[in-house]
Amino acid sequence: MEYGSGFSHATYSHSAAFVDDGSGKPAKDENGNVIVMCAHAPISEHKQLGNWDVLGLGGTGSIDYAAEDVFIADDLVFPILTAPPLRQKEFFSLGVVGLAAIGHTGWALGAGRRMLDEIAKFARSKSGRAGLIGESEKFWHDYGRAEARYRAARAFVFETWRDVEATVEAGSRMSTRQISLVHLAKSEIHEVGVDICNFAYRAGGGASLRAGVIQRTFREMMVAANHFTIAPSIVTSAGRDIGGIWSDRVWQFYDLIEKK
Protein backbone atom coordinates (compact mmCIF):
# COMPACT_ATOMS: atom_id res chain seq x y z
CA MET A 1 0.00 0.00 0.00
CA GLU A 2 1.18 3.52 -0.80
CA TYR A 3 0.61 6.71 1.15
CA GLY A 4 -0.20 5.24 4.56
CA SER A 5 -1.32 8.57 5.99
CA GLY A 6 0.08 8.95 9.50
CA PHE A 7 1.16 5.30 9.50
CA SER A 8 4.35 5.97 11.47
CA HIS A 9 2.31 7.43 14.34
CA ALA A 10 -0.61 4.97 14.31
CA THR A 11 -1.45 1.87 16.33
CA TYR A 12 -3.87 0.43 13.74
CA SER A 13 -3.91 0.57 9.96
CA HIS A 14 -6.90 1.65 7.90
CA SER A 15 -6.63 -0.08 4.52
CA ALA A 16 -9.09 -0.20 1.63
CA ALA A 17 -9.02 -3.06 -0.87
CA PHE A 18 -11.05 -4.65 -3.64
CA VAL A 19 -12.69 -8.03 -3.07
CA ASP A 20 -11.62 -10.77 -5.49
CA ASP A 21 -14.58 -12.34 -7.31
CA GLY A 22 -12.68 -15.60 -7.64
CA SER A 23 -11.38 -14.93 -11.12
CA GLY A 24 -8.89 -12.23 -10.24
CA LYS A 25 -11.34 -9.40 -10.95
CA PRO A 26 -13.01 -7.03 -8.45
CA ALA A 27 -16.29 -8.36 -7.06
CA LYS A 28 -19.45 -6.28 -7.56
CA ASP A 29 -22.64 -5.88 -5.54
CA GLU A 30 -26.19 -6.44 -6.77
CA ASN A 31 -26.22 -2.95 -8.31
CA GLY A 32 -23.08 -3.58 -10.31
CA ASN A 33 -20.85 -1.43 -8.11
CA VAL A 34 -17.33 -2.57 -7.28
CA ILE A 35 -17.08 -3.64 -3.64
CA VAL A 36 -14.37 -1.88 -1.65
CA MET A 37 -13.75 -3.15 1.87
CA CYS A 38 -11.80 -1.36 4.57
CA ALA A 39 -9.89 -3.37 7.16
CA HIS A 40 -8.20 -2.40 10.43
CA ALA A 41 -5.20 -4.26 11.80
CA PRO A 42 -2.44 -3.63 14.36
CA ILE A 43 0.56 -1.78 12.96
CA SER A 44 2.81 -4.55 14.27
CA GLU A 45 1.23 -6.94 11.74
CA HIS A 46 2.59 -4.93 8.81
CA LYS A 47 5.90 -4.49 7.07
CA GLN A 48 6.93 -0.84 6.93
CA LEU A 49 8.43 0.05 3.54
CA GLY A 50 9.45 3.67 4.02
CA ASN A 51 9.41 5.73 0.80
CA TRP A 52 8.44 9.02 2.44
CA ASP A 53 11.34 11.24 1.37
CA VAL A 54 9.01 14.01 0.24
CA LEU A 55 8.86 17.72 -0.56
CA GLY A 56 6.73 18.53 2.47
CA LEU A 57 4.58 17.09 5.26
CA GLY A 58 7.39 14.70 6.12
CA GLY A 59 6.25 14.80 9.74
CA THR A 60 3.08 12.87 8.90
CA GLY A 61 5.15 9.71 8.43
CA SER A 62 2.89 8.53 5.60
CA ILE A 63 5.09 5.64 4.53
CA ASP A 64 4.29 2.72 2.23
CA TYR A 65 3.48 -0.59 3.91
CA ALA A 66 2.60 -4.20 3.18
CA ALA A 67 0.55 -6.90 4.91
CA GLU A 68 0.51 -10.61 4.11
CA ASP A 69 -1.57 -13.38 5.70
CA VAL A 70 -2.90 -11.03 8.40
CA PHE A 71 -6.08 -12.22 10.15
CA ILE A 72 -8.77 -9.52 10.32
CA ALA A 73 -11.79 -10.06 12.57
CA ASP A 74 -15.24 -9.49 11.06
CA ASP A 75 -15.94 -6.49 13.28
CA LEU A 76 -12.84 -4.73 11.91
CA VAL A 77 -13.98 -4.89 8.27
CA PHE A 78 -16.61 -2.72 6.59
CA PRO A 79 -17.63 -1.58 3.07
CA ILE A 80 -16.09 1.89 3.11
CA LEU A 81 -18.05 3.28 0.15
CA THR A 82 -21.50 2.48 1.49
CA ALA A 83 -21.36 1.79 5.25
CA PRO A 84 -23.34 4.35 7.29
CA PRO A 85 -21.69 5.74 10.45
CA LEU A 86 -22.62 3.70 13.54
CA ARG A 87 -21.68 6.37 16.08
CA GLN A 88 -24.26 9.12 15.64
CA LYS A 89 -23.15 11.35 18.49
CA GLU A 90 -21.30 14.57 17.78
CA PHE A 91 -19.17 14.72 14.63
CA PHE A 92 -18.71 10.95 14.37
CA SER A 93 -21.96 10.93 12.40
CA LEU A 94 -20.11 12.65 9.54
CA GLY A 95 -18.26 9.44 8.74
CA VAL A 96 -14.79 9.07 7.25
CA VAL A 97 -15.19 11.77 4.58
CA GLY A 98 -16.55 14.38 6.98
CA LEU A 99 -13.96 13.75 9.66
CA ALA A 100 -11.16 13.86 7.08
CA ALA A 101 -12.51 17.18 5.80
CA ILE A 102 -12.22 18.68 9.28
CA GLY A 103 -8.54 17.78 9.46
CA HIS A 104 -7.58 18.87 5.95
CA THR A 105 -9.55 22.12 6.14
CA GLY A 106 -8.27 23.03 9.59
CA TRP A 107 -4.67 22.41 8.55
CA ALA A 108 -4.99 24.65 5.49
CA LEU A 109 -6.55 27.40 7.59
CA GLY A 110 -3.58 27.37 9.93
CA ALA A 111 -0.92 27.11 7.23
CA GLY A 112 -2.33 30.02 5.22
CA ARG A 113 -2.58 32.19 8.32
CA ARG A 114 0.96 31.37 9.38
CA MET A 115 2.40 32.26 5.98
CA LEU A 116 0.66 35.63 5.94
CA ASP A 117 1.93 36.39 9.44
CA GLU A 118 5.48 35.33 8.59
CA ILE A 119 5.80 37.35 5.40
CA ALA A 120 4.34 40.43 7.11
CA LYS A 121 6.84 40.05 9.96
CA PHE A 122 9.65 39.66 7.44
CA ALA A 123 8.56 42.79 5.55
CA ARG A 124 8.40 44.84 8.75
CA SER A 125 11.99 43.86 9.48
CA LYS A 126 13.05 45.03 6.01
CA SER A 127 11.93 48.66 6.08
CA GLY A 128 13.42 52.08 6.62
CA ARG A 129 14.97 52.83 3.25
CA ALA A 130 14.04 52.72 -0.42
CA GLY A 131 14.38 49.38 -2.14
CA LEU A 132 13.49 47.26 0.86
CA ILE A 133 10.39 45.07 0.74
CA GLY A 134 8.78 46.88 3.66
CA GLU A 135 8.78 50.11 1.63
CA SER A 136 7.29 48.52 -1.48
CA GLU A 137 3.83 49.72 -2.54
CA LYS A 138 3.38 46.61 -4.65
CA PHE A 139 4.22 44.28 -1.77
CA TRP A 140 1.65 45.80 0.57
CA HIS A 141 -0.95 45.88 -2.20
CA ASP A 142 -0.40 42.19 -2.92
CA TYR A 143 -0.32 41.41 0.79
CA GLY A 144 -3.65 43.17 1.26
CA ARG A 145 -5.21 41.18 -1.56
CA ALA A 146 -3.83 37.93 -0.12
CA GLU A 147 -5.19 38.80 3.32
CA ALA A 148 -8.61 39.57 1.84
CA ARG A 149 -8.73 36.30 -0.11
CA TYR A 150 -7.70 34.31 2.95
CA ARG A 151 -10.37 35.93 5.11
CA ALA A 152 -13.01 35.33 2.45
CA ALA A 153 -12.10 31.64 2.19
CA ARG A 154 -12.02 31.37 5.98
CA ALA A 155 -15.48 32.93 6.22
CA PHE A 156 -16.75 30.37 3.68
CA VAL A 157 -15.29 27.55 5.77
CA PHE A 158 -16.86 28.81 8.98
CA GLU A 159 -20.24 29.46 7.36
CA THR A 160 -20.27 25.95 5.93
CA TRP A 161 -19.24 24.21 9.14
CA ARG A 162 -21.58 26.21 11.37
CA ASP A 163 -24.43 24.91 9.22
CA VAL A 164 -23.08 21.36 9.45
CA GLU A 165 -22.65 21.69 13.21
CA ALA A 166 -26.28 22.77 13.60
CA THR A 167 -27.40 19.79 11.52
CA VAL A 168 -25.35 17.37 13.63
CA GLU A 169 -26.61 18.85 16.89
CA ALA A 170 -30.18 18.38 15.64
CA GLY A 171 -29.46 14.68 15.16
CA SER A 172 -29.72 14.85 11.37
CA ARG A 173 -27.40 13.69 8.60
CA MET A 174 -25.67 16.08 6.22
CA SER A 175 -27.52 16.76 3.00
CA THR A 176 -25.94 16.33 -0.42
CA ARG A 177 -25.69 20.10 -0.76
CA GLN A 178 -23.97 20.44 2.60
CA ILE A 179 -21.39 17.82 1.62
CA SER A 180 -20.80 19.67 -1.66
CA LEU A 181 -20.18 22.90 0.23
CA VAL A 182 -17.80 21.12 2.61
CA HIS A 183 -15.79 19.95 -0.40
CA LEU A 184 -15.82 23.41 -2.00
CA ALA A 185 -14.76 25.15 1.21
CA LYS A 186 -11.99 22.58 1.72
CA SER A 187 -10.73 23.09 -1.81
CA GLU A 188 -10.92 26.88 -1.70
CA ILE A 189 -8.92 27.28 1.50
CA HIS A 190 -6.20 25.11 -0.06
CA GLU A 191 -6.23 27.03 -3.36
CA VAL A 192 -6.01 30.33 -1.53
CA GLY A 193 -3.23 28.88 0.61
CA VAL A 194 -1.25 27.92 -2.49
CA ASP A 195 -1.57 31.46 -3.88
CA ILE A 196 -0.54 32.96 -0.53
CA CYS A 197 2.49 30.70 -0.35
CA ASN A 198 3.53 31.51 -3.91
CA PHE A 199 3.23 35.23 -3.16
CA ALA A 200 5.16 34.97 0.11
CA TYR A 201 7.86 32.76 -1.38
CA ARG A 202 8.49 35.18 -4.25
CA ALA A 203 8.30 38.24 -2.01
CA GLY A 204 10.74 36.76 0.48
CA GLY A 205 13.47 36.52 -2.13
CA GLY A 206 16.63 34.79 -0.96
CA ALA A 207 15.29 34.39 2.57
CA SER A 208 12.64 31.99 1.26
CA LEU A 209 15.27 29.60 -0.07
CA ARG A 210 16.76 28.78 3.29
CA ALA A 211 15.51 26.67 6.17
CA GLY A 212 12.79 28.48 8.07
CA VAL A 213 9.05 28.87 8.46
CA ILE A 214 8.46 30.45 5.04
CA GLN A 215 10.31 27.71 3.18
CA ARG A 216 8.75 24.91 5.20
CA THR A 217 5.19 26.26 4.94
CA PHE A 218 5.62 26.70 1.19
CA ARG A 219 6.76 23.10 0.74
CA GLU A 220 4.06 21.65 2.93
CA MET A 221 1.26 23.61 1.26
CA MET A 222 2.39 22.39 -2.16
CA VAL A 223 2.16 18.80 -0.93
CA ALA A 224 -1.21 19.29 0.76
CA ALA A 225 -2.68 20.85 -2.39
CA ASN A 226 -2.05 17.60 -4.28
CA HIS A 227 -4.07 15.44 -1.89
CA PHE A 228 -6.80 13.42 -3.57
CA THR A 229 -9.47 14.79 -1.20
CA ILE A 230 -9.34 18.13 -3.05
CA ALA A 231 -9.00 16.66 -6.52
CA PRO A 232 -10.50 18.69 -9.41
CA SER A 233 -13.05 15.92 -10.04
CA ILE A 234 -14.53 16.43 -6.56
CA VAL A 235 -14.79 20.19 -7.04
CA THR A 236 -16.36 19.63 -10.47
CA SER A 237 -19.00 17.32 -9.03
CA ALA A 238 -19.74 19.76 -6.21
CA GLY A 239 -20.07 22.56 -8.74
CA ARG A 240 -22.54 20.56 -10.78
CA ASP A 241 -24.58 19.86 -7.65
CA ILE A 242 -24.66 23.48 -6.50
CA GLY A 243 -25.35 24.63 -10.06
CA GLY A 244 -28.39 22.36 -10.30
CA ILE A 245 -27.05 20.01 -12.99
CA TRP A 246 -26.61 17.00 -10.70
CA SER A 247 -29.08 17.92 -7.97
CA ASP A 248 -30.66 14.46 -8.19
CA ARG A 249 -27.46 12.70 -7.09
CA VAL A 250 -25.95 11.72 -3.74
CA TRP A 251 -22.41 11.57 -2.44
CA GLN A 252 -20.83 8.14 -2.04
CA PHE A 253 -17.39 8.56 -0.52
CA TYR A 254 -15.81 11.11 -2.92
CA ASP A 255 -18.11 10.47 -5.89
CA LEU A 256 -21.45 12.10 -6.66
CA ILE A 257 -23.50 9.19 -7.96
CA GLU A 258 -27.03 8.66 -9.23
CA LYS A 259 -29.56 7.70 -6.60
CA LYS A 260 -30.22 3.98 -6.51
pLDDT of residue 12: 97
The span from the CA of 153 to the CA of 190, in Å, is 9
Whether residue 217 contacts residue 115, with contact meaning beta carbons closer than 8 Å, is answered with yes
CA distances from 235 to 96, 142, 151, 188, 224 (A): 18, 27, 20, 9, 16
| Model confidence pLDDT, tens digit, residues 112-156 | 999 999 999 999 999 877 789 999 999 999 999 999 999 999 999
Whether residue 68 contacts residue 38, with contact meaning beta carbons closer than 8 Å, is answered with no
pLDDT of residue 87: 80
- pTM above the 0.85 mark? yes
CA angle 230, 7, 96 (to 5 degrees): 45
The span from the CA of 217 to the CA of 115, in Å, is 7
Helix (H, G, I), strand (E, B) or coil at 57: coil
Regions of the chain short of the pLDDT cut 50: none
pLDDT of residue 35: 92
User: Exposure string (b/e) for 42-54, b if CB count within 10 Å is 16 or more?
Assistant: eeeebeeeeebee
| Model confidence pLDDT, tens digit, residues 74-93 | 999 999 988 888 887 778 88
Ordered by where they begin, the domains of the chain are 7-79 (2.40.110.10), 90-258 (1.20.140.10)
Closest by CA to 250, choosing from 191, 260, 205, is 260
The span from the CA of 133 to the CA of 126, in Å, is 6
Neighbours of 148 (CB within 10 A): 10
Cβ within 8 Å of residue 220, ≥6 positions away: 56, 57, 111
